[in-house]
Structure formats: structure tokens, C-alpha cells
A and B are shown apart, each in its own frame.
Chain A
Amino acid sequence: MVKMTYAEAAKLALAEEMRRDPLVWAIGEDLGRGGVFGQYLGLLNEFGPERISDAPISESAIMGASVGAAMAGTRPVVEMRFADFALCAVDELINQAAKARYMLGGQVKVPMVIREPMGMWRSSAAQHSQSLESWYTHIPGLVVAVPSTPADNRGLLKTAIRSDDPVVYLEHKNIWGYEGDVPEDETLIPFGKGRLEKEGDDITIVSWSAQMHIAANAATLLQAEGISAELIDLRTLWPWDRQMVFDSVEKTGRLLITHESVSVGGFGAEIAATVAEQLFSVLKSPITRCAAPRVPISYAPPLEAKIRVSSEQIVEAARKSVAVSAGFK
């Protein structure tokens, strides 16, 4: 194992894939100087400006040209700078990238990775903080990845680059500097396989991306008061590891889902509905969601904090879930 940050792990993955396959290239604004978060730092030296390419501030061309470049046989890694700016390229992603293979009856494929740094970070306010992962899960044709650790960021990005389909790859801005162990060998992480962050018996907590770390802290706090939580990091939302969630809920009988994005229409709702459909009879208490209120994200830290879902909120919700369980059936 090697210690490295979430950003360094992604950089390593991209460099490894670019060395392996000359058709892989990265394109985005300010990549030459290392990307706005330093996640491309040093790559220009090794790969040159054609493969670590700056782009004009033309999000729809960055996305749309990459669709064409992917159809024409290369593997673009598209940097969107902030997930919020990818909204300037919605047609290119949703109507073109996601559907070209299907609409053309399988005549073309669109192997591209769309990196979208997302989430709340340093008082960035409503246009630089959003987590829109659930939108993408709604679109047939897209894969949606939401890594939370350096090891997963390396292993998933490599899988994404090798994928023949467009992958919306959402890295969380608040954990670029988060350090963790990364395997020495090239471990690829398949889509649709969750990670058991912590085993437990009393309640299943499902999370992803940076919120997973807040949930992990909640699980530790719960342990201290005698509630044993099992924590699952889904890692990819489409496909998502239903089996891991089902197995866990069958054991614990309780489910709590927590994500940083808005609760309404969030992916937690999909998980809750699926578990309710499949495992209603094993549930000992109602399924709980801990996610953001449906308001834009504020600038001032105390206001921004109102949007965040804290470990304490998760602990409180988990306590309630465990408490009501007796009478629920």
C-alpha cells in the first residue's frame, strides 16, 4: 500500500491509462497548468499539450467535440472544472453522448469519461457547490461514479477510462486532499460493486462520495453508544450494488441513506423505493433519508452549514430508527 491523496490517486490513474493506451487524452480548461485543483499537475510534462489539452471556455464544445472524438476512435477524458458548468453542455451529454450508441442501433460507441468536481467546498455558493448525481442516474446510457477514497478514485477512474460508454465521473472537491492507502498494483474497481466500509448488525447506512466520511464518523459515534451500524459506500450509482444493500438490510432490518445532495428526487429515494419493494417484510423500521433541504447552497458559512448533513443528524436518525423498530411490524 502507498499513501496518497484523492487527487494524486486520480492523477496516477490517468497517467497509467495514458501510458497504456495512446488513444486516451484529456481535454479541459486550464489543464496545462495542472487543472484548477491540481489534479493534472505534472501530466503536461510527460504527455505534451496534445494529450493534456487546454480548451477554450466552451463547455458545449468540450463535451460535444469529445463525443465526436470518442465516436471517431479516441478515448477523451473530459474535465468540466466544476459539475455546475457541465450544465452548459447538457445537450451534448444527455442527447448526444448518452444516446448515440442506441439511436444509431449500435453502429457507434462513445467511450468518454466526464470528470465533474462536485459538492460543497469553501463557501463556493450556489453555482459552484452542487451535487447533481441523481440527475445522471435517470439517463439511460450513462454510468455514474462517485468515489470517496483515494483507492477507489484510482481504481474507478481506470475502469471508467476503459469503459466503452460515457461515464459521468463525480469527484468531490472537499476531499481532494484526503489521504488514504492505495494498492501498489493496478487494481481496477468494477462498476456496480459497493464497498463495505464498516460491518454492523443494527442498522445499514448507505452513502457515497464525501458524505461517506461523515457517515463513517456517525457510525463511530453510534458504536460508542452501543448501536452497531453497517456502512456501505456504493462507489457507483449506476449501476448500483443492490445485492450488497439487500444482503445488509436482510441482516440489520433497518436502512438509512445519507447524501450531500438534495433529498427530494435524490438517489436515496431510488434506494429506499427499491428496498421497500424487495424487502418490505424484513424491515423493522421505516427507511430513513438524511440529505439536504431543497434550497440553493449559501455562501456564508453558518448558512452553508444549514445545508450540510452532519454526523450528529445521522446519529439522531439512526437512534430513532433503532428505537421504533419494536412496534413497526
Chain B
Amino acid sequence: MIQPLNQNIDKDWFLEHHIMMHRIRAFEETAARANQDKLVLGAIHLSIGQEAIASGVCKNLMKEDFLLSTHRGHGHTLAKGADPEAMMLELLGRRGGICKGKGGSMHIADASVGMLGANGVVAANINIATGAAHAIKLKRETNISCCIFGDGAINRGPFLEGLNWSGVFNLPVLFVCENNGFASTTRTDAMTSGEGAAARARSMGITAIEVDGNDIVSVDEITREYIANIRNGNGPHLISFNTYRLHGHTASDPASYRPAAEVEAAWKEDPIERCSELLSRLGISREILNEHRKIALEEMERVYKTAKEAPWPSDDNAFSDVQDLGDPREGAF
């Protein structure tokens, strides 16, 4: 789908998106390789095909804004500003991992950039993000909270409870649904009654919209507009981004439950290629655009090499960060 060309588009801004989307893709491809190399031990969920949402949303957040993410959270974390090396070390469970090797892919987080965690429990982040927004309101601060979740999450209770809560307390929170068509190996449509996330949100009085999540311009624009509303005290907003999960549910899922033609068609809507197309029509050379991918791959290759060579965390880490009661190996604790 080719958009009419808007000459007012800020080229530099979208070049940065292009770079970030390539970094996410390269990180995911490298993680997939690490998974094949049996160096990633647990399950990992790749966001290949969904990079425009991560980049488009997170670029419009400030560092002080909170972000809560899902099991498919590498892209969000990277786009929020986390260091890919510390992330890759975490995926491999090595020393220097961003969570000291205790969380892995599904608990990837970087509190120093406001990223308060991916989550291994579908929809659990909705209430947590809502609560972070509640804290912002109580403290009279000006940042916001953002929660990204999948289309499968809207069938769990926290979607109802968290959205209702955010409306009742008029909280500064942006809900982002990644409507990628699948919840694990099941088509989400088949298990969802009614019109989906945006309609459900509107029924609770929350401003909500459905947007093409593979078009970086649309993602960027709607996110910017909604965040401005939220910062102006207009309460929670929800965006449901339509996208497609180009790979399997996990890195080891061949996703043979979907027709090849469907996947092929989806690749034609690849958000990165669509962004490249836009930028080349705006006069950026293909060479420069291709260079973005090359640089991203080199970066992630370095990161992977560092992670592979890193030692395991020291054993003491198994017993720290439990609670403030001293060493669990000693005495009463």
C-alpha cells in the first residue's frame, strides 16, 4: 500500500525511525540465531514485522515516561533506550545481563530509561502500567505511563479492570494493543467476541482508535497526538495497531498453521520496507537506507559476540534481590 506523498514529513525524524526499526530487526534476527545456536535457553518471542509500533510509540515517549511491555518485548525495550548488549547478555543469561541473568527475555527491563519490564503473564502489565500512572498522578508529576500488550491480552480480566480503573481515576496512560492476528497458535479473531480492543475501550469511555501499525507515519502521528492529549490531562487513550507477526509465536515455532500465501502477502507489508519506500520517495538514496541495515547487523553481531564470550553470573546472584531480609542462605531467612 503506497501512501500519498506528504512533503511536510520530517525526513530526519523518519530516518531515525528507519534506523531504530533496523536495529530492532537485527536484534531479533540475531536473537533467533542465538536460539538456533542453543545459546538462548528459554523461549523467546520475536517482534519481526511489528517494528513500526515499537519505534513509532517509543520515540514519542520521554525517558521519564514509564513503559510496560509483553513477552514480545525486545523491540519495545530497545526503542525505549536500553543497551542492546546488556539485553543480549540477559537473553543468554550471562554476567552483565540487564537483569543479572535472573529474568531472561520475558522479563527484559531497563528501569534507568523507564522501562519497567516485559512480562511472562499475558495482560499482567495492564494493571501495573495503570498503577504506575496512578503514582504519577498522586505525585503530581508530568510524565505518563505506556502499556503495550497483544490482541490476545484483551480477553483476560486485567484488560477490563485496568482500563476501567484508568478511566475512573483519569490517569495519564497510553494503552497500545499490537493486533498481530495471533495469540500463540490460535487466530485471535476466533477467540474474541465483538469488535476488539478499541471498541471495548470506547465502551468504557476511553478514547480509542484502530490504526495501520505497519505504517510508521501513521503510528508516529497518532501516538504523538494521543500522548499530547494525555499530557494535557485528558486521561487514558488506547491505540489498536493492526500488524502481522511475520515469524512464529516463539523463535522455534515454524508457524505451519498458517498458509504460506498469507505470510507472503504479509511480507509485502513489511513496515521497514514501507518506511524505506517512503524515505526513498522523499529523496533519500537506497544506498543510505541499505547502510542502516548493514550498520544494525554489525552492531548486533558485536553484541552477540560479547554475549557469547561472557561468563555466567556468579552463583551469589541466585540469592540476592529477593527481599530486604538478609542473605536467604543464612539464619532464619
Contact = CB atoms under 8 A, between A and B. Distances in A.
B190 interface: no
Interface residues of B, number: 53
Contacts of A66: 131
Interface residues of A, number: 49
A243 interface: yes
A68 B110 contact: no
B2 interface: no
Contacts of B102: 102-105
Interface in B137-190: 138-139, 145, 157-158, 160-162, 164-165, 168
B130 A64 contact: yes
B161 A69 contact: no
Interface string B309-333: 0000000010011111100100111
Given A61-B164, A68-B135, A103 B117 contact: yes
Interface string A43-63: 000000011000110101101
A103 B103 CA distance: 5
A165 interface: yes
Interface stretch (B55-63, B93-101, B238-246): B93-101
B130 A61 contact: yes
B50 interface: no
B111 A104 contact: yes
B127 interface: yes
Given A23-B139, A74-B139, A106-B320, A65 B162 contact: yes
A100 interface: yes
Interface in A164-223: 164-165, 191-192
Nearest to A242: B332
B121 interface: yes
Nearest to A97: B128
A92 B99 contact: no
Given A68-B128, A101-B323, A102-B321, A61 B161 contact: yes
A60 B127 CA distance: 8
B117 A64 contact: no
Given A71-B116, A72-B136, A242-B332, A104 B109 contact: yes
A96 B121 contact: yes
A140 interface: yes
Contact of A95 (B68, B124, B126, B322): B124
B322 A101 contact: yes
A72 B126 CA distance: 14
B165 A61 contact: yes
A281 interface: no
A25 interface: yes
A163 interface: yes
B132 interface: yes
B22 interface: no
Contacts of B127: 60-61, 63-65, 67-68, 92
B317 to A, nearest CB: 8
A73 interface: yes
Contacts of B131: 64-72, 76
A102 B322 contact: yes
Contact of A140 (B110, B117, B139, B328): B328
A71 B132 contact: yes
Given A101-B321, A104-B111, A192 B158 contact: no
Contacts of B133: 68
A241 interface: yes
Interface in A93-122: 95-96, 100-108
Contacts of B14: none
A240 interface: yes
30 contacts: A51-B138, A60-B158, A61-B161, A61-B164, A63-B127, A64-B126, A64-B130, A65-B128, A65-B130, A65-B162, A65-B165, A68-B66, A68-B116, A68-B132, A69-B132, A71-B135, A72-B66, A72-B145, A74-B134, A91-B124, A101-B322, A103-B102, A103-B103, A104-B102, A105-B97, A105-B99, A105-B100, A105-B317, A140-B322, A141-B322
Q: Return the 5 tightest CB-CB contacts between A and B, nearest first.
A: A64-B127, A68-B131, A65-B131, A105-B100, A72-B135
Interface of B: 66, 68, 97-103, 107, 109-112, 116-117, 119-121, 124, 126-136, 138-139, 145, 157-158, 160-162, 164-165, 168, 317, 320-325, 328, 331-333
